[in-house]
Amino acid sequence: MKLARPTILLALVLFLIGCSEENKKIVGKWKSDGSDVTWEFYENGTLSTDGKPGRYTFGDNERVKIQTQTATFMYQLELQGDHMTWRAPDGTRQELTRER
């Protein structure tokens, strides 16, 4: 039973490291394809969408929770270089491209 505690601690540390790496990948300005909406993600878990503040957090299975003043969204997240895809539970998707 003494082995269980270090194993749990190691799993928790690896989980937190993974979350921080994902956090770094999303940081920056992203433009929603097909619209004029711009999202900016900051390292501290805050965001701005067209000047309005919000927050984001990462969940399990590569999900991201986005909270704005008007709504809360949960998306499946795919990040590939300068391209990000959000998939909603209803199957709709939103494509974003990193602004340079």
Global pTM?
A: 0.74
> What would the two tokens of residue 17 be?
């490291």
Please tell me whether residue 34 adopts helix, strand or coil conformation. coil
Question: Alpha carbon of 3 to those of 7, 11, 15, 16: distances in Å?
Answer: 6, 13, 19, 20
Considering only CA atoms, which of 39, 60, 59, 57 is closest in space to residue 49? 39
State residue 4's pLDDT score: 57
Average pLDDT for consecutive 10-residue bins of the chain (100 residues)? 51 43 82 94 95 95 94 95 95 94
State residue 21's pLDDT score: 57
> What would the two tokens of residue 50 be?
């067209």
State residue 100's pLDDT score: 80
What's the fold here for domain 4-98?
A: Lipocalin (2.40.128)
Q: What is the dihedral of CA 84, 40, 52, 18, to 10 degrees?
A: 70
